[in-house]
């Protein structure tokens, strides 16, 4: 649904150039919720603004719903008109709501329909339907100053849906909200994704947002995507930074002759008593050093750090048992220097994962 290829954005001033995007390749599949996460200055906002061409890329292409938007930019009146039509398929939700204080809630939602030339009765009917969809049917005559932050963002979402978009872009839409309101807005976005078949691309600096709502995610740093994939694939990839941030586990070996293993649970394995089966099958005492479990996309996913008695070479069979149960088992500490050359992780990783180490 959304594809960027070699996307570059360079901002120029009198004395220097700043590269906000440095060859970004991104692919968001139809109907998924895709999160782009990174610290301030990573290039997230530039990326999402280039997707709908609010910012013109310096180079590279942006394709939405099969149409190359960059081919329409700056190519005469006809192309510009086609670009405007293409943008109606892309809704945008902003961090600071961007509502007009002088207009009622209903009038704010009608604004994009006015611009599109929709007749008065039709746009009022559509605006009321959208207000009902976001749970604010009783606020039609209110003004933005009379609403809470969460209510304002719901109005912003309703306005973004006015043109019946196929894609919804969210630019840090929850960063100005309290945790409870954030959860309600994220649930609304997920509901809209499922009810309307919307493809949602959101940017955030909050890992909890990715964990709560996203099917796939990408990590940005210095204008580049350094890691991307579905949440399940990321968790199954040894050394994944995003997996470590989404489900952090800690703990160190209690002695020199101990093996510490990070175990990742996802799919059906998350609900199986695998650790207790391991303990009974091999008659070993297992210590749980840390664990992080949550529900992502309706499925239980998590990681656990466990300690097995004995060094790695004594635990090859128990670790093999974990992998046979469909779990990802990565040895963190094998109890001896000799384990550095041992096959600590499975030979294969999901092909859909892309990872680049930036030095």
Same domain, 180 and 264: no
Same domain, 28 and 88: yes
Does residue 129 lie within any of the structural domains? yes
Same domain, 255 and 207: no
Does residue 353 lie within any of the structural domains? no
Does residue 282 lie within any of the structural domains? yes
Is the pLDDT reported for residue 338 higher than 80?
no
* Greater pLDDT, 230 or 335: 230
- Torsional class of 125: left (φ above 0), alpha (ψ -120 to 50), beta (otherwise): alpha
Does residue 358 lie within any of the structural domains? no
Does residue 354 lie within any of the structural domains? no
Which pLDDT does position 227 carry in this prediction?
94
Q: What phi and psi values does residue 342 have, to the nearest 5 degrees?
A: -80, 155
8 Å CB contact between 23 and 46: no
Same domain, 147 and 275: no
Is the pLDDT reported for residue 348 higher than 60?
no
- Per-residue confidence at 297, pLDDT binned at 50, 70, 90? low
| Tens-digit pLDDT profile for residues 225-238 | 999 998 878 877 77
In the listed set 235, 265, 286, which residue is the last one of a domain according to the structure?
Answer: 235
Distance CA 251, CA 260 (A): 9
List the strands of the sheet with 328-333, edge to edge: 287-296, 299-309, 258-265, 328-333
Same domain, 81 and 31: yes
Same domain, 337 and 206: no
Does residue 155 lie within any of the structural domains? yes
- Per-residue confidence at 165, pLDDT binned at 50, 70, 90? very high
Same domain, 20 and 140: yes
Same domain, 190 and 221: yes
Which pLDDT does position 337 carry in this prediction?
44
Which pLDDT does position 347 carry in this prediction?
40
Q: What is the mean pLDDT of the chain?
A: 86
In the listed set 200, 235, 270, which residue is the last one of a domain according to the structure?
Answer: 235
Is the pLDDT reported for residue 248 higher than 80?
yes
* Greater pLDDT, 25 or 273: 25
Is the pLDDT reported for residue 304 higher than 60?
yes
Does residue 227 lie within any of the structural domains? yes
Looking at residue 108, which CATH number applies to its domain? Answer: 3.40.50.300
The helix (run of H) or strand (run of E) holding residue 112 is helix 105-115
Which pLDDT does position 106 carry in this prediction?
95
Which pLDDT does position 78 carry in this prediction?
59
- Per-residue confidence at 350, pLDDT binned at 50, 70, 90? very low
Q: What phi and psi values does residue 302 have, to the nearest 5 degrees?
A: 180, 180
Is the pLDDT reported for residue 69 higher than 50?
yes
Same domain, 131 and 252: no
| Tens-digit pLDDT profile for residues 4-13 | 999 999 998 8
Looking at residue 324, which CATH number applies to its domain? Answer: 3.30.70.260
Is the pLDDT reported for residue 353 higher than 50?
no
Same domain, 49 and 188: yes
Does residue 127 lie within any of the structural domains? yes
Q: Which of the residue ranges 84-98, 126-140, 266-280 has the most confident prediction, judged by mean pLDDT? A: 126-140
With 0.85 as the threshold, say if the pTM is over it.
Answer: no
For 245-282, the DSSP string reads: HHS------SSTTEEEEEEEE-GGGGGS-HHHHHHHHH
In the listed set 235, 266, 298, which residue is the last one of a domain according to the structure?
Answer: 235
| Tens-digit pLDDT profile for residues 73-104 | 665 555 577 788 888 889 999 888 889 999 99
Same domain, 180 and 69: yes
Range(s) of the domain holding residue 269? 248-346
Which pLDDT does position 278 carry in this prediction?
93
Is the pLDDT reported for residue 29 higher than 90?
yes
Domain count across the chain: 2
Same domain, 169 and 48: yes
Contacts of 134 (CB under 8 A, 6+ apart): 154, 155, 157, 158, 188
């Amino acid at each position: 649904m959304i594809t960027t290829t070699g996307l570059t954005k360079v901002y120029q001033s009198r004395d220097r150039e700043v590269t906000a995007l440095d060859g970004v390749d991104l692919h968001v599949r139809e109907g998924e919720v895709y999160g782009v996460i990174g610290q301030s200055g990573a290039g997230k906002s530039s990326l999402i603004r280039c997707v709908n061409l609010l910012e013109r890329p310096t180079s590279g292409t942006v394709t939405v719903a099969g149409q190359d938007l960059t081919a329409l930019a700056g190519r005469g009146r006809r192309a510009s008109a086609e670009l405007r039509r293409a943008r109606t398929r892309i809704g945008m939700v902003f961090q600071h709501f961007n509502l007009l204080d002088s207009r009622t809630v209903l009038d704010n939602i009608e604004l994009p329909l006015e611009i599109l030339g929709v007749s008065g009765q039709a746009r009022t009917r559509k605006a009321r339907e959208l207000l009902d969809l976001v749970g604010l049917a009783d606020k039609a005559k209110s003004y933005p100053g009379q609403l809470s932050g969460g209510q304002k963002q719901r109005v912003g979402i309703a306005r973004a849906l006015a043109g019946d978009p196929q894609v919804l872009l969210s630019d840090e839409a929850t960063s100005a909200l309290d945790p409870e309101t954030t959860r309600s807005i994220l649930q609304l976005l997920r509901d809209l994704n499922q009810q309307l078949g919307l493809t949602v691309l959101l940017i955030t600096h909050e890992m909890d947002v990715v964990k709560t709502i996203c099917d796939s995610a990408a990590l940005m740093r210095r204008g580049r995507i350094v890691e991307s994939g579905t949440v399940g694939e990321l968790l199954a990839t040894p050394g994944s930074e995003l997996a470590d941030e989404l489900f952090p586990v800690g703990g160190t070996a209690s002695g020199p002759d101990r093996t510490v293993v990070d175990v990742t649970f996802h799919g059906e394995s998350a609900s199986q008593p695998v650790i207790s089966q391991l303990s009974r099958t091999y008659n070993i005492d297992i210590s749980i050093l840390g664990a992080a479990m949550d529900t992502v996309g309706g499925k239980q996913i998590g990681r656990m750090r466990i300690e097995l008695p004995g060094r790695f070479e004594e635990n090859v069979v128990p670790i093999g048992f974990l992998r046979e149960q469909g779990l990802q088992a990565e040895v963190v500490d094998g109890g001896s220097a000799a384990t550095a050359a041992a096959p600590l992780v499975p030979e294969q990783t999901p092909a859909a994962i892309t990872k680049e180490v930036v030095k």
